[in-house]
Amino acid sequence: MARDGTTTTQRDHPGRWPRPLTQRRPAHLALLALLGAGLAVYAWVVAGTAPFTRGALIGVLIPGAVLGTIALVRPPERIPPPDELDMTGMSYWVICLAAFFEWEASAWRDSSWPWHPSFTNLIDPLMEPHLIKSAAILVWLLAGWALVRR
């Protein structure tokens, strides 16, 4: 543990948990809570739109436009990316991702639902409950913000 309260892992990999604890003012915490509540309400509303409608499309386009604008015009303080990736460590990810996309591509090529369902075919029924779809949209929104910070 260094004087500034960070560990070796935190200094070498600034994006990794556990991140150093920072003091936040009550007003900042209140703003974060308000933003979180706003995002949850937004996700709930978008989850209620019917697929293939203008409302559903706009519900996805608005966060994209907002985050795209933030990323271009006023990007937040970014978490520094690593200078290089360990090739052996990265190869595990590449193998998993390649296998996943190959599996998905074969399902799409066969187009033989229900015998060979694609990942989307499996995910769609799981997201039918409004609460689950809202949670998924909220995770998607937070992932977008995390990407802008990277």
Partner 1 sequence: MPPIPTRGITIAGFAVLVAAMVVLEILARRPGSRIPTVGEWLGYLMRPKLGRILVLAGWMWLGWHYFAR
Rg of the chain over all Cα atoms, to the nearest angstrom:
20
Q: Which of residues 74-133 bind partner 1 (CB under 8 A)?
A: 79-82, 84-86, 88-90, 92-93, 96-97, 99-100, 103, 107, 114-117, 119-120, 122-124, 127, 133
Q: Is 138 in the site for partner 1 (CB under 8 A)?
A: no
User: Which string of DSSP letters, residue by residue, matches 75-92?
Assistant: PPPPPPPPS---HHHHHH
Determine the residue type at 3: R
# chain residues binding partner 1, by CB under 8 A: 57
Place of tokens 């608005």: 62
- CA distance linking residue 128 with residue 121, whole number of Å: 12
**Residue closer to partner 1, measured from CB, 27 or 87:** 87
Q: Is 41 in the site for partner 1 (CB under 8 A)?
A: no
Q: Is 9 in the site for partner 1 (CB under 8 A)?
A: yes
Q: Which of 32, 45, 142, 146 binds partner 1 (CB under 8 A)?
A: 146
Pick from 12, 11, 6: nearest CA to 86: 12
Q: Which of 21, 22, 25, 51 binds partner 1 (CB under 8 A)?
A: 51
Q: Which of 39, 40, 135, 148 binds partner 1 (CB under 8 A)?
A: 148
Determine the residue type at 61: L
**Token code pair at residue 55:** 């409302």
Pick from 129, 125, 103, 126: nearest CA to 116: 103
For Cα atoms 73, 62, 126, give the angle at the middle one, nearest 5 degrees.
130
Where on the chain is the footprint of partner 1 (CB under 8 A)? Answer: 8-9, 13, 15-17, 46-47, 51-52, 56-57, 59-60, 63-64, 67-68, 71, 79-82, 84-86, 88-90, 92-93, 96-97, 99-100, 103, 107, 114-117, 119-120, 122-124, 127, 133, 136-137, 140, 143-144, 146-148, 150
